[in-house]
């Protein structure tokens, strides 16, 4: 079974934990709407690629961990889109959760998805219970305060932003968790795997900045030019398109160099290069080094 199919099945199984006939129907529908159909599932595919590179011995656990990371990503999108933050009307080419279900259900959907992600980790770890603690800690660090996604969003509320900390927390942290948790799911030590994820996250952040400036709304599935409109930091607006594309290519190279020693390093390298080639809008893409 290919990685994408395993991820979608694992996501379905996780969502199933939250959805029974006796729960409130709108919340259940909104949780499903926030997760399906997904985007490129970049983080869970990276997580699974690392687990495979570490010779995964518990495939159900790897897929469960990957699903948890994607669920946390979806939760962050739902809350980022809220009226008090980005006030985004669309996401993935259709109404955002608060536009489709109302603001109250959107707040609760984000909350419930965070809880579900942790529950899915606990379920997936039942055959390897000693891996659960390290997994929860890796994931919580990537999501909570002081350095995870939520902290990244909180930097937007500060009078003075540290751009590096903001981007590392807002984007880098969950990529770092994807690689670290992938290793952890395969029984490897998480520590050596953070750097790879951080560099991929940085590359992804720059690619996202480039798409925000260069793409059109139809291609991207969400409004473009938002960074300029909302006065948010954007690498292209800061350093120009040419320099931003070079920086992206540098980061992909340094990510490859950061792959720790592992049985499947060769395939992991190929996975990262293939992903990198999809990061840029078609008209800017060049063969990766």
Binding site for its own copies (CB under 8 A): 18-20, 22-28, 31, 75, 79, 82, 84-85, 102-105, 107-108, 110-112, 114-116, 118-119, 121-123, 125-126, 129-130, 132-133, 136-137, 140-141, 143-148, 150-151, 153-158, 165
- Rg (C-alpha) for the chain, rounded Å, is 18
In the complex, least distance from residue 272 CB atom to its own copies, rounded to whole angstroms: 28
CB–CB of 214/188 below 8 Å?
A: no
Is residue 185 within 8 Å of 62, Cβ to Cβ?
yes
**Closer to its own copies at the Cβ: 59 or 155?**
155
Nearer to its own copies, 147 or 237 (CB): 147
Cα–chain center distance at 130 = 25
Report the nearest approach of its own copies to the CB of residue 6 (Å). Answer: 22
CB 14 to its own copies: min, Å: 11
* DSSP for 224-270, written as a single string: SSHHHHTT---HHHHH-HHHHHHHHHHHHHHHHHTPPS-TTHHHHHH
Residue number with CB closer to its own copies (56 or 86): 86
Q: Which is nearer to its own copies, 116 or 207 (CB)?
A: 116
CB of 287 to its own copies, least distance (A): 38
Q: What string of H, E and C letters represents the secondary structure of 3-56?
A: HHHHHHHHHHHHHHHCCCCCCCHHHHHHHHHHHCCCCCCHHHHHHHHHHHHCCC
What's the min distance (Å) between Cβ of 29 and its own copies? 11
Query: 71 or 280: whose CB is closer to its own copies?
Result: 71
């Amino acid at each position: 079974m290919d990685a994408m199919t395993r991820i979608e099945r694992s996501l379905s199984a996780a969502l199933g934990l939250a959805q029974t006939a006796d729960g409130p129907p709108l919340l259940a529908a909104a949780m499903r709407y926030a997760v399906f159909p997904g985007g490129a599932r970049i983080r869970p595919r990276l997580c699974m690629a690392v687990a495979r590179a570490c010779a995964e011995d518990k495939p159900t656990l790897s897929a469960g961990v990957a699903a948890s990371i994607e669920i946390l990503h979806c939760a962050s999108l739902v809350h980022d889109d809220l009226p008090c933050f980005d006030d985004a009307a669309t996401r993935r080419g259709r109404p955002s959760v608060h536009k489709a279900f109302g603001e109250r259900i959107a707040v609760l959907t984000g909350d419930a998805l965070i809880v579900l992600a942790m529950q899915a980790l606990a379920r997936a770890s039942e055959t390897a219970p000693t891996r659960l603690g390290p997994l929860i800690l890796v994931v919580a660090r990537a999501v909570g305060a002081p350095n995870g996604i939520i902290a990244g969003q909180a930097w937007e509320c500060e009078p003075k932003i540290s751009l590096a900390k903001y981007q590392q927390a807002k984007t880098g942290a969950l990529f770092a968790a994807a690689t670290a948790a992938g290793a952890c799911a395969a029984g490897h030590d998480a520590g050596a795997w953070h750097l790879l994820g951080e560099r991929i996250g940085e590359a992804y952040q720059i690619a996202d900045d480039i798409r925000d400036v260069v793409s059109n709304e139809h291609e991207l599935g969400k409004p473009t030019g938002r960074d300029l409109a909302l006065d948010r930091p954007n690498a292209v607006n800061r350093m120009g398109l040419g320099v931003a594309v070079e920086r992206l290519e540098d980061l992909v190279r340094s990510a490859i160099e950061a792959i720790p020693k592992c049985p499947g390093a060769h395939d992991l390298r190929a996975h990262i290069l293939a992903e990198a080639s999809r990061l840029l809008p078609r008209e800017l893409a060049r063969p990766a080094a």
